[in-house]
């Protein structure tokens, strides 16, 4: 019943510019008259910054640029058409299906005063399968008296309804905060929007072999790419074709031209490392296999985890590793890398080329994990089982109940647990461990936060 005919997202006369293509997309869906347009106007502050405008009988989707707390994103309003009553459920369900495949987050707007209609139920049913995060908006909650009606929308099975009044502005600030927490900082690129090579940062302390590795990887002239359609390459980056796809190694200018070890160079190197990590989706951290893991290595590792980037650890100079060193390295790994056991490790030699070809599969695994989304249904049946087998420890004589979980974001995978009480750090770590065992997130940090409901 899903007719894809008229719904291509970028089939437009006025192409959005490059920068806009890189913004995440929020889709607003719901049946007519629930207040979608009113909400969209509220979100964009009534600035008519139209990115795309496709008027038509069945095709009417308008994209606006919005800005909240300094972050820019696109809002896609799917309202405006006038379907006949018969086609309504199908049309709204189709709208939701398109949003699931193209947007980075979805707002399902429901009229709290009217309550959940058959059409709302039909859309909710589609959206419960969604791997794209869905926020349920209970609109027309103009004052506290309607709050109870909003709570009734839990029945839609999409988690906590967010009560707002689009026309009065009540609750919309909180809603936008939640939207920002949910939207990834970069848009998905499996859809039409934001296509481009994956961005990799090659980092590690001076002399660990970064430029040697880059040279090795791009040694074959044919693998160095100078132009990718639709991509503007920052002159400090390098495009390299590996394993059949093009990768963008960020901020490699300093690697290609050896920079002198001037006074303070380490400070600037560290700033630059931080910048490269921020700019990348994936970090390949080089460690010197022949030398002890240093504090500087640990600092860079901390930066990667804090920034929430995918990670592969490469032990370079493996040609210098003998039996004794292999033994001491094993205990160093246990001691110093215990918090990143999820990162794939490869033992390579940039000098001899040993095992360098193992890097690319590890990089792909890490990015797949980083992008991975677990459906709300799968997540909650897993959660139910784990919590039943090992309930959280009592706090103040009470057993906190874990109500519901949702994956709020990808890149990195970010989960929110709704509970009736505080969960101890040890139990949260236990859940994260079980989550990794069940769904596997090799190469990606995973974030779990807890929201306590009164």
- Least gap, CB of 18 to ligand GDP (angstroms): 30
Q: Is 250 annotated as a binding residue?
A: no
Q: Is 206 annotated as a binding residue?
A: yes
Q: Which residues lie near ligand GDP (CB under 6 A)?
A: 30, 32-38, 79, 139-140, 142, 165-167, 204, 206-212, 255, 316-317, 319-320, 349-351
Q: Phi then psi for 408, rounded to 5 degrees?
A: -80, -25
Q: Where are the beta strands (DSSP E) in 69-112?
A: 71-77, 105-111
Calculate the alpha carbon distances from 277 to 300, 318, 319, 384 in Å. 9, 25, 28, 36
Q: Among 198, 200, 172, 201, which residue's Cα sits nearest to residue 186?
A: 198
- Least gap, CB of 192 to ligand GDP (angstroms): 25
CA atoms of 394 and 131, how far apart (whole Å): 33
- Least gap, CB of 320 to ligand GDP (angstroms): 5
- Least gap, CB of 191 to ligand GDP (angstroms): 24
285 or 408: CB nearest ligand GDP: 285
CA atoms of 108 and 408, how far apart (whole Å): 15
Q: Is 155 annotated as a binding residue?
A: no
CA angle (371 as vertex; 366, 377 as ends), nearest 5: 120
94 or 411: CB nearest ligand GDP: 94
CA atoms of 178 and 69, how far apart (whole Å): 12
310 or 350: CB nearest ligand GDP: 350
Q: Is 41 annotated as a binding residue?
A: no
Calculate the alpha carbon distances from 441 to 283, 290, 379 in Å. 15, 29, 14
94 or 210: CB nearest ligand GDP: 210
CA atoms of 340 and 342, how far apart (whole Å): 5
Residues 379 and 413 sit within 8 Å (Cβ to Cβ):
no
60 or 368: CB nearest ligand GDP: 60
- Do you find a cis peptide bond into 62, omega within 30 degrees of 0? no
Q: Among 55, 33, 131, which residue's Cα sits nearest to residue 377?
A: 131
- Least gap, CB of 453 to ligand GDP (angstroms): 24
Q: Is 371 annotated as a binding residue?
A: no
Length of the chain: 454
6 or 319: CB nearest ligand GDP: 319
- Least gap, CB of 82 to ligand GDP (angstroms): 10
Kindly state the helix (H) or strand (E) to which residue 173 belongs, with its residue range.
Answer: helix 172-182
Name the DSSP class of 107. Answer: E
- Least gap, CB of 178 to ligand GDP (angstroms): 17
Q: Is 342 annotated as a binding residue?
A: no
Q: Is 372 annotated as a binding residue?
A: no
Q: Is 78 annotated as a binding residue?
A: yes
Q: Is 247 annotated as a binding residue?
A: no
92 or 383: CB nearest ligand GDP: 92
Token duo for residue 275: 């910048």
List residues forming the annotated binding site for GTP: 30-37, 77-81, 139-142, 204-211, 251-255, 316-319
- Annotated binding-site members: 30-37, 77-81, 139-142, 204-211, 251-255, 316-319
């Amino acid at each position: 019943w899903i007719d894809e005919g008229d719904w291509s997202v970028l089939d437009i006369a006025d192409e959005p510019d490059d920068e806009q293509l890189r913004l995440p997309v929020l889709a607003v869906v719901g049946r007519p008259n629930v207040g979608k347009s009113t909400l969209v106007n509220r979100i964009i502050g009534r600035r008519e910054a139209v990115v795309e405008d496709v008027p038509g009988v069945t095709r009417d989707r308008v994209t606006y640029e919005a800005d909240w707390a300094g972050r820019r994103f696109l809002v896609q309003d799917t309202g405006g058409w006038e379907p006949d009553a018969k086609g309504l459920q199908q049309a709204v369900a189709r709208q939701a299906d398109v949003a699931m495949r193209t947007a980075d987050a979805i707002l399902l707007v429901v009229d709290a005063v009217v309550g959940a209609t058959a059409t709302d139920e039909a859309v909710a049913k589609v959206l419960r399968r969604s791997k794209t995060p869905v926020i349920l908006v209970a609109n027309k909650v103009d004052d506290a008296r309607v709050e109870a009606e909003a709570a009734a929308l839990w029945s839609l099975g999409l988690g906590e309804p967010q009560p707002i009044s689009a026309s009065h502005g009540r609750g919309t600030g909180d809603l936008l905060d939640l939207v920002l927490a949910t939207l990834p900082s970069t848009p998905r690129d499996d859809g039409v929007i934001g296509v481009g090579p994956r961005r990799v940062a090659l980092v590690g302390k001076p002399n660990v072999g970064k430029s040697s590795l880059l040279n090795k990887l791009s040694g074959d002239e044919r693998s160095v790419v100078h132009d990718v359609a639709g991509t503007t390459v920052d002159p400090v980056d390098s495009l390299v074709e590996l394993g059949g796809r093009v990768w963008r190694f960020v901020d490699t200018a300093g690697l290609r031209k050896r920079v002198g070890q001037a006074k303070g160079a380490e400070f600037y190197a560290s700033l630059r490392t931080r910048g490269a990590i921020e700019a990348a989706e994936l970090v390949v951290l080089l460690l010197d296999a022949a030398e002890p893991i240093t504090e500087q290595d640990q600092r860079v590792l901390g930066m990667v985890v804090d920034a929430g980037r995918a990670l592969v650890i490469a032990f370079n100079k493996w040609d210098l590793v003998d039996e004794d060193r292999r033994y001491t390295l094993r205990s160093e790994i246990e001691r110093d890398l215990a918090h990143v056991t999820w990162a794939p490790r490869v033992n390579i030699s940039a000098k001899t080329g040993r095992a360098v070809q193992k890097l690319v599969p590890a990089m792909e695994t890490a990015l797949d994990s980083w992008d991975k989304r677990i459906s709300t249904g799968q997540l909650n049946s897993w959660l139910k089982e784990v919590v039943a087998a090992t309930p959280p420890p009592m706090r103040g004589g009470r057993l906190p109940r874990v109500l519901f979980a949702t994956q709020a974001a990808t890149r990195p995978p970010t989960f929110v647990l709704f509970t009736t009480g505080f969960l101890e750090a040890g139990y949260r770590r236990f859940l994260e461990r079980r989550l990794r065992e069940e769904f596997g997130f090799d190469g990606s940090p995973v974030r779990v936060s807890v929201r306590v409901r009164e």
